[in-house]
Structure 1
Amino acid sequence: MFLGHFAVGFGTKAIRPRISLGMLFVSVQFLDLLWPTLLQLGLEKVEIRSGITAVNPLYFVEYPISHSLQMAVFWAVLVGGIAFVFNKNLKIALTLGLCVLSHWLLDLAVHIPDLPLYWSESSPKVGLGLWHNVWLTVAVESLLFMGGLYQYLAATTARNWMGLYGLWGLVALLVLIQVGNLLGPIPQHVEDIAWGAQLQWILIAWAYWVDTHREIDVV
């Protein structure tokens, strides 16, 4: 899942307009922002196996810190708790925590059974395997993304050209990344995957910037 996660970030802006789109992107992608660093530190493992699914050539050997259900709940509580300390707003804290947890739930739909339930080698692993079907994956992610983007557009208005073209530039980049993931060459080295995943911080910075150039239409 890629576009689907960002769809949650876009859509949640309409529900909690006080939260920056950048912070929403951090929350919905929090597990995947942890993962490349843990991969580079040797704390989690992935292998490149062409054909393991029709969509994704990665076999996630070990990633309990970032992607077990147990730790996803922990990270959700942590992010929500930090948000509450700074904002003293329970609704904002709960929203950001749920955004973190949404990542695991969406991954559950697309992954093959490689998501551990808890941090242990003996943990059962789950996944509904949507990635085995390219067209179904594309359809589900596209519908989620269009729905989330529609809600964001309905809840905000561009103040200037940066809020307009900056948003559509961000949308175009997200779609191009998705197309590249689907149609591009299979990565040859795990290090390239990790560094590529770190580039998500550009998307987050871009989202923060765009959001400062858009006005809230809902309270």
Structure 2
Amino acid sequence: MFVGHYAASLAAKAAAPRAPLWSLVLAAQAVDIGWSGLIIAGVEKVRIDPSLPGSALDLYHMPYTHSLPAALLWSAGALGLARLARLPWAAAIAIAFTVFSHWLLDLLVHRPDLELWFGGTKVGLGLWNYPVPEQAVEIGLLGLAAAAWAWSRGRAGRSLWPVLAFMTALLAVQIIAMVMPGGGDAAGLGTTALVVYLALGALAWALDRKRA
């Protein structure tokens, strides 16, 4: 799951318009932003295995970001930060749920590599093993969430161009990720992922700023 994670941020924006778009976009990948940093630092571990179908990532050690307790802690931390920033409760809760949605969506596509507790049983439904259905689910979720965001903006009498701009960027990133050759080391993978996540957050901030 990659751009499909942003479906949660767009759906949350439709449900809680007062939540800044950039905060929801970063929330959707907050777990993976942390993962990228820990991969670069060598704390969590990943192997690149081109023989794997769908995704070449063998995510064999990531308890601090992708275990169920860790996801709950990341979500609680996001809720606290949102309230410290004086966002309304509805916006703060939307941000926290967006953070936790990352684990739920990963459960759908990951092979069994998500710990139910620290050091415990690993789960994952493995949709990555079926690349075409996985891509269909990912793009389908994103399309539905974008439609909900567009509907909420249209109902408020606001322009739809931010929806079109952000969706175009997401689809471009997804296509690039699909055609790029695999390989490389873990630190390089973590760095590339981190740059993409922050760039999409910056784009969301620019769209919010343009609106203001």
- Counterparts of residues 140-219 of structure 1 (less than 5 Å): 140-156=137-153, 157-158=158-159, 164=161, 167-199=163-195, 200-214=197-211
Contact 2:10 2:146 in 1 (8 A): yes
Matched residue SS, 1:128: coil
Contact 1:55 1:182 in 2 (8 A): no
In structure 1, list runs of 5 or more residues that go unmatched. none
Counterpart residue type for residue 197 of structure 1: A
Contact 2:50 2:183 in 1 (8 A): no
Tell me which residue corresponds to 1:44.
Answer: 44
Tell me which residue corresponds to 1:68.
Answer: 67
Q: Distance in 1 between matches of 2:64 and 2:34?
A: 9
Q: Distance in 2 between matches of 1:27 and 1:73?
A: 13
Matched residue SS, 1:66: helix
How far the C-alpha of 1:118 sits from its partner, in A, is 2.0
Matched residue SS, 1:47: strand
Tell me which residue corresponds to 1:132.
Answer: 129
Q: Distance in 1 between matches of 2:87 and 2:10?
A: 23
Counterpart residue type for residue 179 of structure 2: L
Task: For residues 60-107 of structure 1, give each alpha carbon's deviation from its aligned partner in whole angstroms, at most 9, with x where no partner exists.
Answer: 121111111001001101110221233263222222111111000000
Tell me which residue corresponds to 2:5.
Answer: 5
Matched residue SS, 2:58: strand
Give the TM-score taking structure 2 as reference length.
Answer: 0.91
Contact 1:13 1:152 in 2 (8 A): yes
Question: Kindly, what percent of the aligned residue pairs are identical?
Answer: 31
Q: Distance in 1 between matches of 2:50 and 2:98?
A: 31
Counterpart residue type for residue 191 of structure 2: W
Matched residue SS, 2:32: helix
Q: Distance in 2 between matches of 1:41 and 1:192?
A: 11
Judged with a 3 Å threshold, the aligned counterparts in structure 2 of structure 1 residues 141 and 88 are, in CA distance, closer, same or farther, namely closer
Count of aligned positions: 207
Q: Distance in 2 between matches of 1:181 and 1:129?
A: 19
In structure 2, list runs of 5 or more residues that go unmatched. none
- Counterparts of residues 10-89 of structure 1 (less than 5 Å): 10-52=10-52, 54-87=53-86, 89=88
